[in-house]
């Protein structure tokens, strides 16, 4: 069988993910593997049509395609995203149609599910036959049990292709029906009450809905505008992790990224704007976001108010909404709202309420309690930075110590003592019986005290 591997790591042959596929290749020598380092070779794919054509030829002549990629900020790397955009821009979707496919991702399991959903939805949009995914922790290959899972996964993939199994479509096609957004005149600007507002966008194109939304919001709020398409970005994150020790990116001051991030961090209210391209924002946006990784696992926008202006069908794309909510929570900020052009005629009025909310929340320093996304995500970072990643991410370790992010339950000695006493008491049958009878009512004792005293 001919298997094509679309490698999504910017590290090319040095990719951790690629080693999982090489292991599969070693265990199944009867199949022929072709490795295409599409993320590493993105510039060549963009500039050399013949090279892009060769990649498409390999896919076309294959029996199965493996999307092999590392996680990059809840998704795939910006170069991989760009490769996906090129498939549509160059009308090459048919090359992928009906191909059997699967994905293999490596990560630290921080929002691996959103990246996997993204790739799965892209496969569905391309009309591929998606069999399964394998999401490995980056070091799983060193573990016997995980290796045997990987072998089973691969065996099932090959057998499914042989048997030509029926696959189900998980993600329905997006129904595109958004009309043209017509901005209305602004009667009065929104008072910013001393709050500094910035809009960060990848498009100011006035022929597009997003450009017009940005422009009207800018006029409405007198916000400063940063256009990430006009700034100097030398390239995508290379995954070198040189930033881990002291948060200095290997690009240094050779481009605008660090300076622009520092500038954005000086505002109280940050509104990000962009159009949905396939199932995420543009690859340019993704590059800008990936490059924020010089701050590694430290929150970028603590205490800030965040809003989004989005052009596109966000209501049909829950995965993207989850990613936006997650990154806001992980950044220690508050997601005030997401205004999309799906609202058509109502956008103008909504924009005023949206702007007012941003200001109001900022004045009151309101941070909505975080959800599982931020709370669960932070526990992964906390444990990994304290443990296996500490040596590489020393900057994070210093930050987590200073900002008391190491809130391990075993350090809560009062709680441990109460547990020890209560657990001993429950060994006495009559006490255990009384506690069991009162457990429900006793849960609200502290809340009743608050109602009485506060």
Determine which residue in the list 5, 9, 216, 273 makes contact with ligand FMN, applying CB under 6 A: 9
CB of 338 to ligand FMN, least distance (A): 20
Give 209's contacts (C-beta < 8 A, 6+ positions apart): 178, 180, 181, 275, 311, 341
Does residue 290 bind ligand FMN (CB under 6 A)?
A: yes
3-class SS of residue 247: coil
| Binding region for ligand FMN (CB under 6 A) out of 93-101, 110-118, 171-179, 181-189 | 110-118
- Phi/psi at 146 (nearest 5 deg)? -70, -35
CB of 347 to ligand FMN, least distance (A): 31
Does residue 293 bind ligand FMN (CB under 6 A)?
A: yes
CA–CA distance, 131 with 153 (Å, rounded to integer): 10
Burial of 315 per CB tally in 10 Å (0-12, 13-18, 19+): exposed
CA–CA distance, 399 with 295 (Å, rounded to integer): 10
Does residue 299 bind ligand FMN (CB under 6 A)?
A: no
CA–CA distance, 382 with 389 (Å, rounded to integer): 10
Determine which residue in the list 1, 12, 16, 90 makes contact with ligand FMN, applying CB under 6 A: 16
Determine which residue in the list 71, 197, 220, 358 makes contact with ligand FMN, applying CB under 6 A: 71
Does residue 11 bind ligand FMN (CB under 6 A)?
A: yes
Residue with tokens 């994150």: 237
For the residues of 50-93, what is the DSSP string, one character each?
HHHHHHHHHHHT-SEEEEEEE-BTTB--HHHHHHHHHHHHTT-H
Reading the block at residue 3, the tokens are 């298997």
Does residue 74 bind ligand FMN (CB under 6 A)?
A: yes
Does residue 298 bind ligand FMN (CB under 6 A)?
A: no
Radius of gyration from C-alpha coordinates of the chain: 25
Length of the chain: 454
Give 75's contacts (C-beta < 8 A, 6+ positions apart): 81, 114, 115, 118, 280, 286, 323
Q: Which is nearer to ligand FMN, 342 or 383 (CB)?
A: 383
| Binding region for ligand FMN (CB under 6 A) out of 13-21, 187-195, 204-212, 307-315 | 13-21
CB of 16 to ligand FMN, least distance (A): 3
Determine which residue in the list 64, 70, 211, 377 makes contact with ligand FMN, applying CB under 6 A: 70
Report angle CA 115, 315, 126 to the nearest 5 degrees: 50
Determine which residue in the list 36, 59, 65, 73 makes contact with ligand FMN, applying CB under 6 A: 73
Q: Which is nearer to ligand FMN, 72 or 301 (CB)?
A: 72
Cα–Cα distance list, 360 to 187, 307, 333 (Å): 20, 13, 15
CB of 309 to ligand FMN, least distance (A): 24
Best CA proximity match to 12, nearest among 35, 33, 34: 35
Determine which residue in the list 1, 56, 92, 108 makes contact with ligand FMN, applying CB under 6 A: 108
CA–CA distance, 52 with 263 (Å, rounded to integer): 38
Does residue 329 bind ligand FMN (CB under 6 A)?
A: no
Does residue 286 bind ligand FMN (CB under 6 A)?
A: no
Determine which residue in the list 85, 112, 278, 329 makes contact with ligand FMN, applying CB under 6 A: 112
Q: Which is nearer to ligand FMN, 17 or 305 (CB)?
A: 17
Q: Which is nearer to ligand FMN, 90 or 147 (CB)?
A: 147
Does residue 381 bind ligand FMN (CB under 6 A)?
A: no
3-class SS of residue 337: strand
Does residue 107 bind ligand FMN (CB under 6 A)?
A: yes
* Host H or E run for residue 414: helix 413-425
Site for ligand FMN in 219-248 (CB under 6 A): 237, 239, 241
Q: Which is nearer to ligand FMN, 17 or 362 (CB)?
A: 17
Q: Which is nearer to ligand FMN, 250 or 418 (CB)?
A: 250
Contact set with ligand FMN (CB under 6 A): 9, 11, 15-17, 70-74, 106-112, 138, 237, 239, 241, 290, 293
């Amino acid at each position: 069988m001919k298997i094509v591997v679309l490698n999504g790591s910017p590290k090319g042959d040095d990719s951790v993910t690629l080693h999982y596929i090489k292991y599969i290749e070693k265990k199944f020598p009867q199949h022929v593997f072709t490795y295409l380092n599409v993320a590493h070779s993105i510039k060549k794919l963009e500039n050399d049509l013949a090279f892009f054509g060769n990649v498409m030829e390999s896919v076309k002549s294959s029996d199965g395609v493996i999307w092999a990629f590392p996680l990059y900020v809840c998704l795939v790397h910006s170069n991989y995203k760009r490769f996906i955009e090129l498939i549509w821009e160059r009308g090459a979707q048919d090359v992928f149609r009906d191909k059997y496919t699967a994905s293999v991702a490596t990560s630290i399991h921080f929002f691996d599910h959103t990246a996997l959903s993204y790739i799965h939805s892209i496969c569905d949009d391309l009309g591929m036959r998606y069999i399964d995914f394998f999401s490995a922790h980056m070091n799983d290959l060193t573990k016997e049990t995980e290796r045997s899972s990987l072998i089973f996964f691969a065996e099932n993939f090959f057998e499914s292709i042989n048997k030509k199994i029926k696959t189900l479509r998980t993600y329905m096609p997006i129904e595109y029906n958004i009309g043209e957004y017509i901005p209305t005149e602004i009667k009065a600007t929104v008072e910013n009450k001393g709050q500094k507002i910035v809009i960060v966008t990848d498009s100011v194109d006035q022929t597009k809905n997003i450009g017009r939304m940005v422009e009207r919001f800018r006029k409405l709020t007198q916000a400063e505008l940063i256009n990430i398409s006009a700034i100097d970005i030398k390239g995508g994150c290379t995954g070198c992790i040189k930033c881990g020790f002291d948060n200095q990116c290997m690009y240094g001051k050779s481009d605008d990224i660090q300076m622009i991030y520092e500038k954005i961090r000086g505002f109280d209210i940050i509104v990000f704007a962009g159009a949905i391209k396939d199932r995420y924002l543009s690859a340019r946006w993704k590059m800008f976001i990936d490059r924020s990784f010089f701050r590694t696992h430290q929150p970028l926008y603590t205490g800030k108010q965040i809003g989004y202006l989005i052009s596109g069908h966000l209501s049909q794309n829950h995965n993207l909404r989850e990613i936006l909510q997650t990154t806001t929570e992980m950044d220690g900020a508050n997601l005030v709202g997401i205004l999309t052009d799906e609202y058509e005629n109502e956008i103008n009025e909504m924009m005023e309420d949206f702007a007012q909310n941003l200001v109001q929340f900022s004045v009151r320093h309101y941070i909505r309690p975080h959800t599982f996304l931020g709370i669960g995500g932070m526990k992964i970072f906390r444990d990994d930075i304290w443990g296996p990643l500490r040596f590489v991410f020393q900057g994070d370790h210093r930050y987590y110590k200073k900002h008391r992010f190491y809130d391990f339950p075993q350090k809560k000695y009062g709680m441990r003592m109460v547990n020890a006493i209560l657990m001993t008491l429950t060994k006495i049958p009559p006490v255990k019986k009384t506690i069991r009878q009162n457990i429900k009512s006793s849960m609200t004792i502290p809340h009743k005290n608050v109602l009485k005293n506060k």
